[in-house]
Structure 1
Amino acid sequence: MGLWPRVVALLLLLLCLPAHEAFALISLVSRSRMWPGPTGLLLLLPLAVLWLLPWPWQALWLAPAFVLWLPRWLPDGLARRFPAWVRWLPEDLSYIGRLLHFTLVQKRMYKSFVDVLETRARAEPDRLMVVDAASGRQVSLGEMERRSCQVARALGAALQGSVGLKEGDVAALFFGGPQGISAITLWFGLGKLGCQVAWINCHIRGAPLQHAVLSSGCCVLVADPELQEAVETVLPELMAKGIRCFYLSSTSPTRGVEPLKDLLEAASSDPVPPQIRTGVTPKSRCMFIYTSGTTGLPKPVIFTHDRMLMLVGGLKMCGAKKSDTFYVTLPLYHSAALVVGVMGSLHLGCTLILAPKFSASNFWNDCRKYQVTVIQYIGELLRYLCSTPKQPCDREHRVRLAIGNGLRAEVWTQFQERFGPIQICEAYGSTEGNFGLINYPGRVGAVGKSSFLLQLLCPHELIRFDIETEKPIRDNEGRCIPVEPGERGLLVSRVTKYNPFLGYLGPQQHTEKKLLRDVLCPGDVYFNSGDLLSRDSDDFYYFHDRIGDTFRWKGENVSTREVEGVLSLVDFLEEVNVYGVPVPGCEGKAGMAAVRLSPGKTFDGQKLHGFIQKELPAYAVPRFIRIRDFLASTATFKLSKLQLVQEGFDLRIIPDPLYVLDNKSGTFQPLTPELHRAILDGSIRL
């Protein structure tokens, strides 16, 4: 066969590929540094076979490719006649290919997270690593490497430091947002010693703070001097346990807390020999990130180097590039900011812009100032941006990609309509979970996409769940029952050698509570995500609620998230928090919504009644409305429900205006003491 027929066949094959995949193959050939590595050979093998085969065999080779990519060229109605796995196979193959390449090649280049910094710093010492958006302070890779070496030499016993930290010891970091770069420097410096680091939530106080520090097993606490008051409240208990405490400052106003800053500045910045951490392996523990504590005291989640290095690939999997500038406003004690933000940008090689805290009014100004191209969100962050007054410059920015989780479908659309066609990459996962999803095709409202290929690598399932007993429903043989497409179920993921569940530091029962056994077959073990999701016929997954947030009323399951989404469309409601409250004599819990009114707006019970009667099923309509000046939320923008649930609709302890549903008059009327007594004694039925 001549040259030109072979060239034509090759071009036809490339046309079958998605544009980014074809470009990747072409660029692979042109990059001599990638050739002839095993990955390059593997990717180029189909092209080589196609080039060498005679024409009849080339036709057979091209036919399956055309069939697989044919749905891409057909109208949606015709494309849907193909099986879902055929329609989405190109995207699924592309995603799984990138996942395997990262897992088998890129992740294995490093033994610990510190190796990533040292490798990057040697290759590009002058490259900008991180910028503090508040102060404008800039740190290059080389400077971060030198300063982390100072930390290691000042704190390491093998280097004659004063504290005597060594491999395997635990140090706790207690820092606020403005000290982000200093906290990162300490983290890498401690990592060079082989120490484990516990990241303490800077917003907790008293007993929760004491519990968080003590449960980590740390021997050293380094704190932001701005958190002096919080440190002093727990200092006697920490000192009694032999924990040595430091402020990152030149002086200390607190007796028993030592200043650390001058010690660090005086230390040598010479490279720290890796022999100090010879015992560190990819399976070694490297840090602890705490759960939110919404169902009890915070629990330290175990991270190994291997798990850390696996999760940093999420940034690249979502479409970020080395040339990007990544903007992060979340606190560093949150895994999204620390692992995906700091480590993800370091591993990828892009620049990180670190804001001390989220500010809706400063967000876009920072993006323009630092020419940000990728932003990170979580929970309600993008909704807060949409709630700000519209500006003529709303679309004057370079942001092309938003990465995060917890974005509602209505906010997704609203955000893109206002701020431009920014690609949104929604992901699903948890701090302690052994499984995650990414919505790589970008379907609005979905938290991720699965496939039969991903099922092979990471077995997972949605199983039927009883809201009242808060336990999975099992069949006569004691096995859990998978749900059908469109049906809500509890997401569980199988615990295997390649997808382990590391659990929590401390009592084993905390870890055991997150496991389900004998789920689909005898002896299997699954991680219980605690989340209720559904999937459609295309294997896209949709988040509905957390177990405990979903409640049952009149025999029906009510998703607080879905009700919140509907109520948030009411023009006089600025913010909505939905939860269930018990009512004497009633089955389940009645829906209640704590709301914050929009500026300049008043509550209109009749208008709200008419709207929700059209938009919500009868069982999901809230029975009570509570007007609040503000709605409490966590540092990661999750609305707090616990105190609201405990207070219920008790007029004796609630100073806020309360309203109760009145279907007869078609409105929400003020809850008076007389109505309250009638509801409690059953004279009025809800």
Structure 2
Amino acid sequence: MVNISERLQADILWRAHVKMMVWVTWMFTTFAAGLFAILVFQRMTYPLFWEDLIYYLNLRKVGKALKSRMQRGVITYLDSFLYQAKKMPDKAFIVFEGQTLTYQDVDKRSNQFAKVFRTKGGLKKGDIVALLMSNEPDFICVWFGLSKLGCEVAFLNFNIKSKSLLYCFESCGAKSLVVGADLVSSLGEVLPSLKENAIEVWVTDIGCPHEGVNTLLDKVEQASDMALPDCPRADLMSNFLFIFTSGTTGLPKAARVGHLKAVMCMAFLRLCGARSDDNIYITLPLYHMTASLLGIGGCIQLGATCILKKKFSASQFWKDCVKHNVTVFQYVGELCRYLVNQPVVPEERAHKVRVAAGSGLRADVWREFARRFGKINVREAYGLTEASIGFVNYTNEIGPIGRAGYFNKLNMPFEFLSCDPQTYEPIRTDSGRCVKANKGETGLLVAPVSVMNPFLGYAGNTLQSEKKLLRDVFKEGDVYFNTGDLMLQDHRDFVYFRDRIGDTFRWKGENVATTEVSEILGSLEFLQEVNVYGVTVPGYEGRAGMAAIVLKMDQKLDGKKLYNHLVQSLPAYSWPWFLRIQTSIDVTETFKQQKRKLVQEGFSPEAVQESLYFLDLSQRDYVPLTQSLHDDIVSGKIRL
């Protein structure tokens, strides 16, 4: 009886176990099926959910690290440098033309500059000092030395002419100027005016041919490199720098850059995938925010090494990358186009570069860059000197500047507004409120002004400062920063830069985005560079399309092929009616294409010495633009 009972119990237990296993299997299968269904649904409706979430969590992680540092007293850009100089004094910070300066070297040399400026120049907290220097280690040492005194530094573009230089002084209110030894020759024309305005001038040399100019290096060598005992503390919300806009459409504007903005910029390279063991190649001018705040600041935040170049050289680029074991580099504007237009060299595949971070990379160049130079993670981004709004394309999608999904707006709020196609002013409802642009529709990028996104305005230009602000946008009393940039958010939440107000023009009742047309034309194999703009034609409203083009070496203009390409790729109102053949495209030091002079010269053979062509629809070809043909167009005999 005992054996039968034991068998019965065992059977009952076995049956219960089997039922349990069936139930568990059913639950697991149901859960797996549900999870699979959710994942399928997610991939169909929100395919980049995980990429967006991971990037958002990385932002949160960077923010927590920043908060932790601030609690330990590491608050400003300068504090971050001093923290790294103390933490890793012997780590290479700047490598420049065979010279290597550690974090401690730069700290000590900046102390020397600070002491000279204080004892010999009488500089103190709140003084504004202009800096006119090329890329070199002393640019950074002078900058940090002045910052240690609490001075606000104004970075000057060393390419600007005398009129613009004097205007920059007037607008930012600088009373001192530091000039690099290699730029002293540019002082001759403006020195009398500087003296009249009581501007004290210093040169980073032991001597100077100009009378009344103070020398620095002879005094710096005699100064102590010990830390200043009484460095003034900076308010995080106060002004740190003045960085001037490129002035492609007029005189430069002095944008105020606060300490908070500078600190936020320092996280850029980390978010692009850079690490502390990277060698980061900076060829862009240090007077530009990309190089100074994102680049040098990014190196400091990571504790990485900067390979600093005096000036960008397309022919030396990959050789430098191999020589210095470069792993990350910055680009902007047309820099990458110059690289893809260079002859093939062995180093372009022998390098160890894994990240290229920057902005202004057109899709056609991007594809060629990716095909030719190996596996490099391109991190295309968008940012502004004046405000903290920005995007980073952390995906492998070619073309967008970033994402605009749910997680992205949690970090930094922004909106795209519908705007008038002629004035580009935001469209407002009867109640006076702005209207959000729909997905797939080009809109004006704006961002609410807040503690985390302050707008400190342009120095000495209240009118221009106010023009950048939109008020009562969605509710009474709110204030938004107007970027002046036209963007498109597609149905996958990718954001594409369309154009900058002023570059976009209107023709045949339609808006023409110059960047889009340039991209389409740039895909033709015989074209090396393209710069699209609009020109006025008598008797027509708006502006007709015109393109300044550079032909590839040993290539000729194929007008018929260009016409067929336009028919297949662009609506008729976007076609350039006129072509101007150039040997090179004029760009700023940050590789932004210059359009102003081209627009002014128009399509007149008398004003333009280079070859001009006109789109003859009857021949489906671009034909030489003669003076008689020009006169027929202007008189209306030939209609566009």
TM-score (normalised: structure 1): 0.86
User: Does 2:126 align with 1:172?
Assistant: no
SS in structure 1 at match of 2:231: helix
User: Does 2:328 align with 1:374?
Assistant: yes
What is the CA-CA distance between 1:266 and the residue it aligns to? 0.8
Matches within 5 A, 1:605-684: 605-684=559-638
Matches within 5 A, 1:543-558: 543-558=497-512
Q: Distance in 2 between matches of 1:331 and 1:499?
A: 25
> 1:199: which partner in 2?
155
> 1:277: which partner in 2?
232
CA contact (8 A) 2:91 2:102 kept: yes
TM-score (normalised: structure 2): 0.92
Q: Distance in 2 between matches of 1:225 and 1:393?
A: 33
User: Does 2:264 align with 1:264?
Assistant: no
CA contact (8 A) 1:434 1:495 kept: no
CA contact (8 A) 2:69 2:75 kept: no
Q: Distance in 2 between matches of 1:147 and 1:69?
A: 62
Instruction: For 1:97, give the aligned amino acid.
Output: R
CA 1:536–1:88 in 2, change beyond 3 Å: closer, same or farther?
Answer: farther
SS in structure 1 at match of 2:307: strand
Q: Distance in 1 between matches of 2:221 and 2:554?
A: 53
1:162 to 110, 120, 123: 120
> 1:151: which partner in 2?
113
CA contact (8 A) 1:84 1:537 kept: no
Matches within 5 A, 1:527-542: 527-542=481-496
CA 1:70–1:346 in 2, change beyond 3 Å: closer, same or farther?
Answer: farther
Q: Distance in 2 between matches of 1:112 and 1:359?
A: 33
CA contact (8 A) 2:56 2:408 kept: no
CA contact (8 A) 1:96 1:454 kept: no
> 1:220: which partner in 2?
176
2:83 to 93, 106, 119: 119
Q: Distance in 1 between matches of 2:265 and 2:381?
A: 12
CA 1:394–1:316 in 2, change beyond 3 Å: closer, same or farther?
Answer: same
What is the CA-CA distance between 1:453 and the residue it aligns to? 3.3
SS in structure 2 at match of 1:190: helix
Q: Distance in 2 between matches of 1:81 and 1:646?
A: 50
SS in structure 1 at match of 2:190: helix
Q: Distance in 2 between matches of 1:102 and 1:537?
A: 34
CA contact (8 A) 1:79 1:87 kept: no
> 1:319: which partner in 2?
273
Q: Deviations over 1:393-446 (max 9, x none)?
A: 421111011111111122222111111111111111111123111112332211
- Aligned CA RMSD, in angstroms, stands at 2.2
> 1:138: which partner in 2?
100
SS in structure 1 at match of 2:221: helix
> 2:16: which partner in 1?
none
1:254 to 194, 210, 218: 210
CA contact (8 A) 2:418 2:436 kept: yes
Matches within 5 A, 1:73-88: 79-83=42-46, 86=49
CA contact (8 A) 2:387 2:453 kept: no
CA contact (8 A) 2:364 2:522 kept: no
SS in structure 2 at match of 1:564: helix
Q: Distance in 2 between matches of 1:536 and 1:67?
A: 28
> 1:105: which partner in 2?
68
> 2:392: which partner in 1?
438
SS in structure 2 at match of 1:636: coil
CA contact (8 A) 1:583 1:590 kept: yes
What is the CA-CA distance between 1:88 and the residue it aligns to? 5.2
CA contact (8 A) 1:170 1:218 kept: yes
**Higher relative contact order by CA 8 Å / sep ≥ 6: 1 or 2?**
2
SS in structure 1 at match of 2:395: coil
Segment drifting more, 607-616 vs 79-88: 79-88
Q: Deviations over 1:590-609 (max 9, x none)?
A: 00001112112222222222
Percent of matched pairs sharing the same residue: 42
CA contact (8 A) 1:107 1:310 kept: no
Q: Distance in 1 between matches of 2:339 and 2:282?
A: 14
CA 1:291–1:171 in 2, change beyond 3 Å: closer, same or farther?
Answer: same
User: Does 2:146 align with 1:182?
Assistant: no
CA 1:68–1:101 in 2, change beyond 3 Å: closer, same or farther?
Answer: farther
What is the CA-CA distance between 1:610 and the residue it aligns to? 2.2
Q: Deviations over 1:285-307 (max 9, x none)?
A: 22111111123211111122222
Q: Distance in 2 between matches of 1:149 and 1:303?
A: 23
> 2:57: which partner in 1?
94
What is the CA-CA distance between 1:142 and the residue it aligns to? 1.0
Q: Deviations over 1:590-640 (max 9, x none)?
A: 000011121122222222222222222111110000111222110011110
1:521 to 475, 478, 484: 475
Q: Distance in 1 between matches of 2:325 and 2:583?
A: 36
Q: Deviations over 1:627-655 (max 9, x none)?
A: 11222110011110000001111222111
Q: Distance in 2 between matches of 1:249 and 1:545?
A: 43
Q: Distance in 1 between matches of 2:506 and 2:64?
A: 45
CA contact (8 A) 1:245 1:257 kept: yes
User: Does 2:406 align with 1:452?
Assistant: yes
Segment drifting more, 452-461 vs 256-265: 452-461
Instruction: For 2:67, give the aligned amino acid.
Output: L
Matches within 5 A, 1:349-364: 349-364=303-318
Report how many aligned residue pairs link the two structures: 612
> 2:166: which partner in 1?
210
What is the CA-CA distance between 1:67 and the residue it aligns to? 5.1
What is the CA-CA distance between 1:587 and the residue it aligns to? 2.4
CA 1:82–1:627 in 2, change beyond 3 Å: closer, same or farther?
Answer: closer
Q: Distance in 2 between matches of 1:400 and 1:483?
A: 36
Q: Distance in 1 between matches of 2:407 and 2:368?
A: 33
Q: Distance in 2 between matches of 1:106 and 1:421?
A: 35
Q: Deviations over 1:450-497 (max 9, x none)?
A: 332332442211111223213112222221111111111110001122
Structure 1: any 5+ residue segments left out of the alignment?
A: 1-55
Instruction: For 2:101, give the aligned amino acid.
Output: V
SS in structure 2 at match of 1:186: helix
CA contact (8 A) 1:312 1:343 kept: yes
Instruction: For 1:151, give the aligned amino acid.
Output: F
Deviating 4+ runs (over 6 angstroms): none
Segment drifting more, 107-116 vs 236-245: 107-116
Q: Distance in 2 between matches of 1:489 and 1:206?
A: 38
CA contact (8 A) 1:426 1:442 kept: no
SS in structure 2 at match of 1:483: coil
Instruction: For 1:126, give the aligned amino acid.
Output: D
Structure 2: any 5+ residue segments left out of the alignment?
A: 1-23
Matches within 5 A, 1:469-484: 469-484=423-438
CA contact (8 A) 2:318 2:347 kept: no
What is the CA-CA distance between 1:369 and the residue it aligns to? 0.6
CA 1:390–1:610 in 2, change beyond 3 Å: closer, same or farther?
Answer: same
> 1:509: which partner in 2?
463
Q: Distance in 1 between matches of 2:232 and 2:37?
A: 50
CA contact (8 A) 1:501 1:527 kept: yes
Q: Distance in 2 between matches of 1:314 and 1:106?
A: 17
Q: Distance in 1 between matches of 2:69 and 2:319?
A: 35
Q: Distance in 2 between matches of 1:606 and 1:427?
A: 36
CA 1:454–1:612 in 2, change beyond 3 Å: closer, same or farther?
Answer: closer
> 2:199: which partner in 1?
243
Q: Distance in 2 between matches of 1:85 and 1:603?
A: 42
